[in-house]
């Protein structure tokens, strides 16, 4: 179906084309090219961490990070259920148990008090999510993790460029993951990164990323054989993706400013509609609105009404513990706030190239729905 207003549109420009073309026409180093290190360097500079390893997805990054930290069978990892399923799957990949904790209803991120109740002697890590680019209670979660001597691994897939005070989201934990999938703040099509200040972690991540191969020499252009010192995967980002990432990163602040302007315009338009509850941005924080979500009455009917008029929306997220894969797995416990929020949340279209006309159409159609149905 062609939507009059899609949920998102990828933002790209001539510089992206040139960056990818330069790698293609070079005809070499489409894998493990110099742009990989260049993208990592640019990401480190942007987020203010000393180490960065890029991956072919955020999911691979989470998987590798849990392996690198030695998390495995018998361990528990606390995650939200109000997230994309990859957050919960990552502990499963390494044989650990994802333990779902509830969210609080301001940021829609993990509730530190509920997390505290679910910590056991087997808990090795907390993986909080910054929902749709809204910072969660990351400082309180870091304190909690430190008090219990456990790892805090931020799933900042949706929150690239978000801040709390002067700190970038993704840098409050021991390590942070970003996703560069096509609907994220900046994109390489598919891609991800782990950032931290821990050189040993990144040495392990590099081994895990590429077959456990000791990477002293460039593999594809070297005649000498390499040695393999660990069980590794192929989680490598293609060089074209890294080149695209460098070009996208140069636009990140512009993209974020644009997203914030659009969010402010929605806020103004919806202020008078009592059936809609907005997600406020706390003072001193910068949300990046990877998703623009509202809580609303009569959600399913509103979604159908918008779809009939060519406006795409989506429910982010149906709770992970209610998916067929996790239902009845024994990992699901009462998560009343997760279930309540998931029952009335709706993500509306928001993307940097959205026109005033497109946004007005969405806002007017939402207003019209409540005028005619309530």
Ligand X SMILES: Cc1ncc(COP(=O)(O)O)c(C=O)c1O
Q: Using CB atoms, what's the residue nearest to ligand X?
A: 58
Are 285 and 106 in contact by the 8 Å Cβ rule? The answer is no
CB of 65 to ligand X, least distance (A): 12
> 42, 110, 141, 181: which one contacts ligand X (CB under 6 A)?
181
CB of 272 to ligand X, least distance (A): 31
Q: Which two tokens stand for residue 270?
A: 């919806």
Restricting to residues 3-22, name those near ligand X by CB under 6 A.
none
CB of 238 to ligand X, least distance (A): 14
CB of 222 to ligand X, least distance (A): 30
Are 83 and 73 in contact by the 8 Å Cβ rule? The answer is no
Q: Is 291 exposed, middle or buried (0-12, 13-18, 19+ CB in 10 A)?
A: buried
Q: Binding segment for ligand X among 32-40, 57-65, 242-250, 360-368 (CB under 6 A)?
A: 57-65
What does the DSSP assignment read for 35-54?
Answer: HHHHHHHHHHHHHT-SEEEE
Q: Select 164 or 361, whichever has its Cβ closest to ligand X.
A: 164
Closest CA to 51 of 67, 68, 32, 63: 68
Q: Select 273 or 348, whichever has its Cβ closest to ligand X.
A: 348
Q: Which two tokens stand for residue 14?
A: 């001539």
Closest CA to 294 of 255, 263, 249, 330: 263
Task: Count interface residues toward ligand X (CB under 6 A).
Answer: 14
Residue 157 sits in the site that holds ligand X (CB under 6 A):
yes
Residue 192 sits in the site that holds ligand X (CB under 6 A):
yes
Write the Ramachandran bin of 170: left for phi over 0, alpha for psi from -120 to 50, otherwise beta: left
- Cβ count within 10 A of residue 84: 18
Q: Binding segment for ligand X among 78-86, 144-152, 215-223, 255-263 (CB under 6 A)?
A: 78-86
Residue 100 sits in the site that holds ligand X (CB under 6 A):
no
> Rounded distance, CA 235 to CA 269, Å?
43
> What is the distance, to the nearest Å, from the Cα of residue 199 to the centroid of all Cα atoms in its chain?
23
CB of 157 to ligand X, least distance (A): 4
Between the CA of residue 99 and those of 17, 111, 131, 172, 334, what are the distances in Å?
A: 43, 14, 18, 21, 11
Q: Binding segment for ligand X among 5-13, 55-63, 332-340, 344-352 (CB under 6 A)?
A: 55-63
For ligand X, what does the binding mask look like between residues 117 and 156, x meaning CB under 6 A?
------------x-------------------------x-
> 53, 83, 163, 347: which one contacts ligand X (CB under 6 A)?
83
């Amino acid at each position: 179906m062609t939507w009059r207003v899609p949920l998102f549109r990828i933002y790209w420009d001539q510089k992206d084309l040139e960056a990818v073309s330069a790698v293609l026409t070079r005809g070499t180093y489409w894998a493990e090219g110099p742009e990989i290190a260049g993208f990592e360097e640019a990401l480190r500079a942007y987020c203010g961490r000393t180490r960065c390893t890029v991956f072919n997805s955020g999911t691979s990054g989470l998987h590798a990070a849990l392996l690198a930290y030695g998390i495995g069978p018998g361990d528990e990892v606390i995650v939200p259920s109000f997230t994309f399923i990859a957050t919960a799957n990552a502990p499963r990949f390494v044989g650990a148990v994802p333990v779902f904790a509830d969210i609080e209803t301001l940021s829609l991120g993990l509730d530190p008090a509920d997390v505290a109740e679910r910590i056991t002697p087997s808990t090795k890590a907390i993986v909080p999510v910054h929902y749709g680019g809204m910072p969660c209670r990351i400082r309180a979660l870091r304190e909690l993790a430190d008090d219990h001597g456990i790892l805090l691994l931020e799933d900042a897939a949706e929150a690239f460029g978000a801040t709390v005070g002067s700190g970038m989201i993704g840098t409050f934990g021991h390590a942070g993951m970003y996703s560069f999938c096509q609907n994220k703040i900046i994109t390489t099509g598919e891609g991800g990164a782990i950032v931290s200040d821990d050189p040993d972690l990144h040495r392990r991540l590099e081994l895990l990323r590429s077959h456990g191969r000791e990477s002293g020499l460039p593999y594809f252009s070297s005649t000498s054989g390499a040695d393999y010192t660990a069980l590794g995967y192929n989680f490598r980002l293609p060089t074209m993706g890294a080149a695209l990432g460098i070009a996208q990163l140069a636009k990140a602040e512009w993209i974020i400013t644009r997203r914030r302007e659009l969010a402010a315009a929605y806020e103004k338009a919806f202020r008078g509609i009592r059936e809609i509850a907005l997600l406020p941005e706390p003072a001193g924080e910068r949300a990046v609105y990877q998703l623009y979500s509202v809580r609303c009455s009569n959600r399913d009917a509103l979604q159908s009404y918008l779809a009939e008029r060519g406006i795409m929306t989506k429910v982010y997220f149906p709770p992970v513990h209610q998916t067929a894969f996790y239902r009845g797995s024994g990992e699901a416990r009462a998560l009343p706030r997760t279930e309540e929020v998931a029952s009335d949340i709706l993500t509306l279209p928001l993307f940097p190239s959205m026109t005033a006309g497109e946004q007005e159409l969405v806002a007017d159609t939402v207003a019209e729905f409540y005028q005619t149905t309530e």
